[in-house]
């Protein structure tokens, strides 16, 4: 099968990965699977997929490293980052590293294929009608600090200047994933 119908799914959740695989295979894709940066490197050593779907959080690893490796391997590859930990900071980093698009979970196969089709920007996109709320800004800042501290709650709380239990309560109120 040609590389233009090869799709690499980088996902550590086996059930979700299996579901995506079946769905894309029904649409005529040859699907390759990886669950870490190491397995991504092993797959791209022998294949040149035209598409990739990368989960942002791969266990203790960040999917952003996979995005960078995939883009370095083939700058023309269409890469969609799929995450339950969506934030402006990670969206910007994903695009800088070579992702074509960034989707928050839950997203289905139709959403992902549409994201592949929208690889270019749209200058006619309307501006947000109101500024981002303080709560959203706070959540994005907390998420960025969590990411920078490798999702270590104690370290993130120290960097944020709050008690660990306070941070844990804030995280429990806003479930992601």
Superfamily of domain 134-173: Homeodomain-like (1.10.10.60)
pLDDT tens digits for range 116-146:
888 666 666 666 666 667 787 788 888 888 8
| Burial of 55 (C-beta count, 10 Å sphere; 0-12/13-18/19+) | buried
- pTM of the model as a whole: 0.70
Chain Cα centroid distance, residue 163: 29
Q: What does the domain layout of the chain look like in residue ranges?
A: 3-117, 134-173
Beta strands in 99-146 (DSSP E): 101-104
Question: Is the predicted pLDDT of residue 1 greater than 50, yes or no?
Answer: no
- Rounded to the nearest integer, the mean pLDDT of the chain is 87
CA distance 154 to 129: 37
pLDDT at 5 over 70: yes
Helix then strand count (H, E) for the chain reads 8, 7
Instruction: Measure the CA–CA gap between 128 and 35, rounded to whole angstroms.
Output: 35
Across the beta sheet with 101-104, the strand order is 30-34, 6-10, 51-55, 78-83, 101-104
Whole-angstrom distance, CA of residue 167 vs CA of residue 45: 41
The per-residue pLDDT for 122 is: 64
Q: Please, which residues have CB within 8 angstroms of residue 5's CB and are 6 or more apart in sequence?
A: 28, 29, 30, 50
Q: 3-117 maps to which CATH number? A: 3.40.50.2300
Asked if 6 and 29 touch (Cβ cutoff 8 Å), the reply is yes
């Amino acid at each position: 099968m040609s590389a233009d119908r090869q799709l690499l799914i980088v996902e550590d959740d086996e059930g979700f990965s299996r579901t995506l695989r079946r769905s894309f295979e029904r649409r005529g894709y040859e699907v390759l699977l990886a669950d870490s940066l190491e397995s991504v490197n092993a797959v791209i050593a022998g294949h040149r997929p035209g598409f990739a779907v990368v989960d942002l959080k791969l266990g203790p690893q960040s999917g952003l490293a996979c995005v960078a490796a995939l883009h370095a391997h083939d700058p023309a590859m269409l890469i969609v980052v799929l995450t339950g930990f969506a934030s402006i900071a990670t969206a910007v980093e994903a695009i800088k590293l070579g992702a074509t698009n960034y989707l928050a979970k839950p997203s289905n196969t139709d959403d992902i294929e549409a994201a592949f089709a929208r690889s270019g920007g749209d200058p006619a996109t309307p501006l947000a009608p109101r500024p981002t709320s303080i709560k959203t800004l706070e959540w994005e800042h907390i998420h960025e600090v969590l990411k920078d501290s490798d999702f270590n709650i104690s370290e993130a709380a120290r960097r944020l200047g709050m008690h660990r239990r306070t941070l844990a309560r804030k995280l429990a109120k806003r479930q992601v994933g």
